[in-house]
Amino acid sequence: MKITTKLILLISALTSSIFLIYTLYKAIILYFVNEALEDTFVGGASSDISITLWFIISVILMLLTFMFLLFLKIKDLKSQKIIVLSLTLFWLTISFFSIFLSFSNLWITVVAFLIGFISFLASKNLKKEIISELKKKGLTEKEIYLLQKLAGISKK
């Protein structure tokens, strides 16, 4: 199964945008509930922090989505490898912490773990692609010169 860097970045962008919609939904609902409670005798000032946090999380997810989409423009395979390994670590960390933070939302943990696993597979495919390209390309003149210097061979 060939999973490309472009595919995993699109999957990550789609997933983070779904999480963005979810957090915006929670923030807006919480905001309207807070507004409705301010008119009653109960008061609603205690959830202002929750509303702010949900909006901050949604802004962070929006920035992440844009970042994933901007990473699509990178053509260098070594840079793509670093990005894919970082994505793997990111999604596995999200899945690990979501177990402890909100076990009631198990679907977040499962989705993040699956994307982390797919990112891991993409990094393996990318590593094979880098190796095959290096074999096809060969050594440059500068690399040959440096290897000769290292071996103590002088070029005449």
pLDDT tens for 52-88 read 899 999 999 999 999 999 999 988 888 889 999 999 9
Residue type, 125: N
Give the structural domain span for 14.
5-151
Is residue 97 one of the residues assigned to a domain?
Answer: yes
Q: Are 54 and 26 in contact (CB under 8 A)?
A: yes
Is residue 156 one of the residues assigned to a domain?
Answer: no
Counting the structural domains of the chain, the total is 1
Is residue 83 one of the residues assigned to a domain?
Answer: yes
Is residue 99 one of the residues assigned to a domain?
Answer: yes
Q: How far apart are CA 138 and CA 73, in angstroms?
A: 26
Give the sign of the dihedral formed by CA 68, CA 118, CA 7, CA 102: negative
pLDDT digits (tens, 9 = 90+) for 23-48: 999 999 988 888 777 766 655 455 67
pLDDT of 12 higher than 70 = yes
